[in-house]
Structure 1
Amino acid sequence: MRLRRHANLLESSLKHVSTRPLLSSQWNRHSFSTTTDGAQQEIAVLGGGITGLASAYYISKEFPRARITIYEAGPRLGGWLHSTHVEVPGGRVLFEHGPRTLRTGLSSLVTSHLVQELGLIGDTIYTSKIAPSALNRFIYYPDHLVRMPSPGISFFDIAQMLLSEPVFRGLFTGALMEIFRDGRPSALSDESVGSFFSRRVDPRVANNLVSALIHGIYAGDVWQLSVKSLFPLPWYYEGQEGSIARGLYERTLRPDGAPLAMMPARDRDMIMDFKNQKLEPEFERSLAACSVFSFRNGIQQLVDRLAETLQKNDQIAIKLNTPVKHLEMEDNNGKKVKISTQSRDSVSSKDIIVSAISSNALSNLCTSDSKTQLPALAQTHAVTVMVVNLFFSKSGLLPVEGFGYLIPQSVPFEQNPERALGVIFDSDAIKGQDTVDGTKLTVMLGGHWWDGWSCYPSEEEGINMARTLLARHLQITDEPTVARAKLQKDCIPQYTVGHEERIQRAHSQLRNSFGGRLRVVGNSYNGVGVNDCLRAARDIAKGLHEGAGYEPSRTGLDHFLGEKQWVAQGSLRKGNIGS
C-alpha cells in the first residue's frame, strides 16, 4: 500500500509543477543544422517504428535545415504498434497486435504534448479512473481469478482477501518484517527481481504477485530480469537506508515537512523542460480523470499521424523496404559515417546516425574483420510473444468486468500448459473503437517460456491454444466470430541482471568506434513502453543540440554513466528547482 501511495504521489506531481517549452527556441538557432562550409547536415534514422519516427520528428523541429532520411527494413511503419480493423456482422472491430493503451501521469508527459502537437486530441479516447477496467485487475492463481486490491474495495474486504487468497501468502508478514531484514552486501551491484523481493519480502511474493506483473510488462522471467533496472527506487531505498520501508519513511512519508517523494534527476530535468508549455485545459482535465487512453483508430493512429507529418516535410525522406546492411566511419577525420543498403543508392555518407533498431541488430551492422565493434549491444536478449485477438458476437461472455488478468510463473502447469502470460478484456479496457457490440479479448502467449525455441506455433495453433485457455480459465466455449494470431518475434528486450553495466560498456564502445556520430535510442535501453520510447526520442534530439550533433562523448546512453541521481520531488512543489 505504501508503494501504491508513493506512485500516486509521484503521478500527481504534474499538477503542481510549472513548465517551460519542451523545445526551446534557442535550439533552432544552433549551428548544428549546417556544417562549417554552409552545407546542410545529413542525418539518418534507422528504423520506422514509433521511436524512429518520433526521433525524426523531434530532430526536424530542432534542426529544420537538416536533411533526414528514415530507413525502414520492412514494408510498413510503426514497428510493434499495429492496429487493424476487421469486418464482422453488423460493423467492424479493432484488433491491436501490440500495445493498446497509454498510461497517464509523469510517464506520459512527452506523449501528451506530442498528441496535442499532432492535432490528435479530438480522436483521443479515455478510460475513466472509476471505470471497472481501471478498478478491477486480476491475477489467475492457482486455478481461479483473484481481484487485486484497488480503490473502491473496503478495508474489510481487502483484509479478508489478503488472508484468504493463496496468491497473497507471504505479503502481509513479509512486508511487516522487511524493515528488520539485513541490508544487501555492499559488493552486490545488481540482482534479479525475484531474488530481491524474495530477500526483502518473501519468495512467494516474488513467484506470485511480482512475476505476474513482470509477465504483463516484459513477458519476462522474474528470476532473470534486473531489479536495479526495473525497480530502481526500491533498490535505491535499500541501498540508502537498509530497507525499502525505512527508505519510504525517511524520504517519503515523514510528517515533518520532508519531501513527499523521490524522482530521478533526469525526470526533474524533463519536467523543467516543459516550463510554460501548457496542455489545452479540457485535454488536461480528461487526462487527469483517466487511467489509460488511446485513439479511435487504435494506437497506430499515433504512428500514422507522425508519418503524415513527416511526409509533408520536404527535408525528410522515408525509405521503406530498405534494410541497412553496414555502418562504418569514413576515413575522413571522423566526420562522416558511411551507411550501406541494398537499394540503388547503396552507399551514402551521413553526419549523424540515430539508431532506433534493436541493439542486437545494430551490433550486427557495425562489424570490422567479421567482428562486431559493439559487442555489449549484442548481449540484450529479446522475447517472442504471440498475440491472439478474438471477437465473439455475443456480449457478456466474461464472468467479471475489468482490464484482464495476468498469470504468474507459479501457476501449476496443468492450469497453463499453453504458457500464456495473460488475457486482456478489450471490451472493457478501452471503449469507442468498435462499431458493434460483443466480447473482445486478447490472449498473450510465450514470452520467456519460449526462450530457446527454434520454431513457434502457427496462427491456427495459436488460436486453438488461446481458445483452450479461455475455456479452462473463463468457461468461454463459444466459437469466435473472428480470430487472428500474430507472432511478434523478438519484440520485448529483456533487461537482465547487469543491464546497466552492459549499457555503460556499450556507451564506451560507441564512443570509441564512432566518436559521437552514432547515437542509439529505443526499447533496448531504457524502457519498453510507448511512453518510454517517445521520451527517449525527445531526449535524443535534445542531446544532439547539447552536443552540437557530434560531441564525441555523446552516444544516447550518457545518462547510464555513474549511479542514478535521485532528487526530492517536494522541492518541485516549493518552486526550488529551476526558474
Structure 2
Amino acid sequence: MPAPRHIAVLGGGLTGLSSAFHLSRRFPDASITLLERQSKLGGWVRSDKVIVENVGSGGSPATVLLEGGPRTLRPNAKSVLELINLLGLDSAVITTSKSSPAAKTRFLQIPELPGLLPIPSSVASLLSSPLRSILLTAVGREIFRRSNRPKGIKDESLDRFMTRRFGEPFARTFGSALIHGIYATDSKKLSVRAAFPSLWEAEERGWGSVVVGFLRGSKFKLKSDYDLGGTIQLMHNASVYSFRGGMQTLTNALELSLSVRPNVKILRDTQVSSLRLQKSKAFEISLSSGAALSPTHVISTLSLPVLQNILPDPGALPHLTANPYSSVTVVNLVFPAPPSEIHPEGFGYLIPRPTTGYSSESPRFLGTVFDSCSLSAQDTPAPLTKLTVMMGGPYPALTEEHMSLPFIKRHLEDHLQRSLPDPVYWKVRRNDNCIPTLTPGHLERMQELRNVLWERWEGRLEVIGAGVGGVSVGDCVDAGKRAGEAWS
C-alpha cells in the first residue's frame, strides 16, 4: 500500500486527538487534517474550574475543579502513560494511594435497603459484611459448578454469563452495578466478550470455572511498544490518578502539541456532510461550508450512527447502527462542609439494577463519586466537599424534576443516611448518547466491518473509537495509537 500523502481524521474527541498525534509522528511527510464539528476539542472530556463563594467561617472563595466526563484513570492503561511521558505532563499528575480510603473502600447502595454497604476488600471485612451470603455462595459454588456454557454459543450478555456462573443475586447486585459505573447501561444488553473478554477467557482456561481460570493465570500478553519514560515510577503505589487541572489537561496538551506541528491542520466548527471514494482512489470529503477535501487516507472516530449518516450509500458499511447508545446526566455538587460531615470515607458508591427493573418510579441514580476523597489536590484547601452524581443510562428519560436540586438532595440524604446542607454550587450536564452499548455479537460484527473496509475501501478508511473497541480513556487513546499501523 502506498504511504499516505494526506490523512483526514474525522472527529476531535480523545480518539481523534490521539490518532492525529500518533499519525503525525508515524508519517511526518504526510499532511494531516483533523476535523471537528464543535469549537472545542476533546469530546466528552470537560474540566471546569469554578470559583465557589462563601466557603468556611470567613466566607472566603475557593477554586474547585469539576469534571463533566471521565474523572480518574488507572495506571494499567499504558497508552495514556505514554502520552504523559511524550507530552511532558509528569508534574501535572496527582495520584490516589492504594492505601487511601478512596482506594480501599467502595460502596453499594441497594435500592431496596437504606444507606450504603461497603464492598468487602479483605477476608475479615467479608466475614462481617451483609453481602457475605451473596459473595460466599456465588464464589464457592462457582468453583465446583460444572461447565454450563451452551454448545456453539459465541457470545452472551454479561448478566446471562454472571447468572449462569455465579447466580442471579450476584449478577444483579454486583454485575449490574459494575456496568452502571462503566457503561451506564443494562448488563442484560452488554456483550461479555466485547466488554470483559478476560471473563470469557477465564471460563475457558478454568474448564468452565471462572474462578479456577483466574487462579491459573492468563496467557494474554499486553503489547509493549510504549515509550513510558519514568511514568511507571510515577505510578508506584497509585490506585487511580488524574491531573491537577483535571482530565482536560490531557486533551489540551494534545491540542497544543498538534497546533505546533507543521504537518497538522485543525479545522474546528467544521461539519462533515459526506464521505465518498472517488474513481481516482482518493476520498472526497464534503463539508457543510461548501468546501471539500481529497485525502488519500481517512480515520473516522465519529460515532457509528454519525458515520452512517455521511456515507452516500447507507449500506456501504455494515453494522453501523447495530448498537444503542446510553445518555448520562452528570450532576456536580459542592457542599460547604468537610467530607467527614457529608459522606463516609471511600471512593463512592454504585447502585445495582432494582428488583423491579428500570421502571419510571425509580430515581434514576446510577452512582455517586466522592471526588474530595480522592482528588482534593485539585481544589483550593477549604472546608468543602465535592461529589458527582451520575443519572440516566438504562432508565427512562429524566424529567426536570429528576434534575432538580431538591430531588437530588433528597435521594442523596436517603443514600447517605444523614442530613445535608444546601450546596454552595451545583451544575447539571447532560451527555446525550455518550457511551455505546456493545451488544452480544459485537466482536463478530466489527470483524465483518473491518473485512468490508479492506475489500471495498482497500484499507485506506479505518473506523475506530468507543463504538468499535473499548470505551475507557485508555482504550480510546490506544485506538488512536494503533490508527494507520497497516499503512506503514
| TM-score normalised by length of structure 2 | 0.92
Query: Which residue of 183, 200, 206 maps to 1:235?
Result: 200
Q: Which amino acid aligns with 2:349?
A: Y
Partner of 2:184: 219
Partner of 1:25: none
Distance 1:509 1:465 in 2: 49
Q: Which amino acid aligns with 1:520?
A: V
Distance 1:460 1:412 in 2: 19
Cα offset, 1:109, TM superposition: 1.0
Distance 1:186 1:76 in 2: 49
Query: Which residue of 134, 140, 164 maps to 2:103?
Result: 134
User: Equivalences for 1:61-210 in 2 at 5 Å?
Assistant: 61-89=25-53, 90-105=61-76, 108-141=77-110, 142-150=113-121, 153=122, 155-161=123-129, 165=130, 167-178=131-142, 179-210=144-175
Q: Secondary structure at the match of 1:376?
A: coil
Q: Secondary structure at the match of 1:428?
A: helix
CA contact (8 A) 2:462 2:484 kept: no
Cα offset, 1:523, TM superposition: 0.7
Query: Which residue of 341, 344, 347 maps to 1:403?
Result: 347
CA contact (8 A) 1:93 1:436 kept: no
Closer, same or farther in 2 for the Cα pair 1:93/1:248, shift >3 Å? closer
User: Equivalences for 1:459-478 in 2 at 5 Å?
Assistant: 461-474=403-416, 475-478=418-421
CA contact (8 A) 2:181 2:350 kept: yes
Q: Which amino acid aligns with 1:472?
A: D
Distance 1:87 1:411 in 2: 41
Closer, same or farther in 2 for the Cα pair 1:350/1:489, shift >3 Å? same
Q: Which amino acid aligns with 1:244?
A: V
CA contact (8 A) 2:270 2:287 kept: yes
Select between 371-380 and 184-193 the one with higher mean Cα deviation: 371-380
1:262 pairs with 2:219: yes
Q: Which amino acid aligns with 1:516?
A: G
Distance 2:107 2:24 in 1: 43
Stretches of structure 1 lacking an aligned partner (at least 5 in a row): 1-29, 34-40, 253-260, 546-579
Distance 2:138 2:106 in 1: 23
Partner of 2:386: 440
User: Equivalences for 1:302-317 in 2 at 5 Å?
Assistant: 302-317=250-265
Partner of 2:58: none
Larger RCO: 1 or 2 (CA < 8 Å, sep 6+): 2
Query: Which residue of 433, 436, 457 maps to 2:399?
Result: 457
Cα offset, 1:360, TM superposition: 1.4
- 1:228-249 C-alpha deviation (Å, 9 max, x unpaired): 1122122123235222234334
Distance 1:309 1:410 in 2: 46
Distance 1:536 1:359 in 2: 15
Query: Which residue of 32, 35, 48 maps to 2:12?
Result: 48
Cα offset, 1:314, TM superposition: 2.1
Distance 2:402 2:163 in 1: 39
CA contact (8 A) 2:336 2:421 kept: no
Q: Secondary structure at the match of 1:350?
A: coil
- 1:190-235 C-alpha deviation (Å, 9 max, x unpaired): 1111111111111100010111111110111111111111221221
Partner of 1:320: 268
Q: Which amino acid aligns with 2:74?
A: R
1:297 pairs with 2:245: yes
CA contact (8 A) 1:47 1:72 kept: yes
| TM-score normalised by length of structure 1 | 0.78
How high is the sequence identity, in percent, across the aligned residues?
36
CA contact (8 A) 2:155 2:192 kept: yes
Closer, same or farther in 2 for the Cα pair 1:459/1:525, shift >3 Å? farther
User: Equivalences for 1:519-538 in 2 at 5 Å?
Assistant: 519-538=462-481
Distance 1:146 1:411 in 2: 17
Cα offset, 1:169, TM superposition: 3.8
Distance 1:516 1:529 in 2: 25
CA contact (8 A) 1:169 1:205 kept: no
Q: Which amino acid aligns with 1:477?
A: L
Q: Secondary structure at the match of 1:285?
A: helix
Query: Which residue of 306, 316, 324 maps to 1:361?
Result: 306
User: Equivalences for 1:373-522 in 2 at 5 Å?
Assistant: 373-395=316-338, 396-410=340-354, 417-437=362-382, 438-450=384-396, 453=397, 456-458=398-400, 461-474=403-416, 475-522=418-465
Distance 2:49 2:401 in 1: 18
Q: Which amino acid aligns with 1:284?
A: I
Partner of 2:56: none
Cα RMSD, aligned residues only: 2.1
Closer, same or farther in 2 for the Cα pair 1:485/1:181, shift >3 Å? same
CA contact (8 A) 2:436 2:467 kept: yes
- 1:13-61 C-alpha deviation (Å, 9 max, x unpaired): xxxxxxxxxxxxxxxxx9725xxxxxxx111001111110110000000
CA contact (8 A) 1:168 1:205 kept: no
Q: Secondary structure at the match of 2:341?
A: coil
Cα offset, 1:431, TM superposition: 2.2
Closer, same or farther in 2 for the Cα pair 1:138/1:330, shift >3 Å? same
Q: Secondary structure at the match of 2:320?
A: helix
Q: Which amino acid aligns with 1:292?
A: V
Closer, same or farther in 2 for the Cα pair 1:507/1:463, shift >3 Å? farther
CA contact (8 A) 1:184 1:239 kept: no
- 1:420-476 C-alpha deviation (Å, 9 max, x unpaired): 1000001112121111420101000001113xx4xx435983544322221221234
Q: Secondary structure at the match of 2:423?
A: coil
- 1:335-378 C-alpha deviation (Å, 9 max, x unpaired): 21111111242x2211011011111111221132xx33123111
Q: Secondary structure at the match of 1:449?
A: coil
Looking at secondary structure, tell me which structure has more helix per residue.
1
Q: Which amino acid aligns with 2:269?
A: N
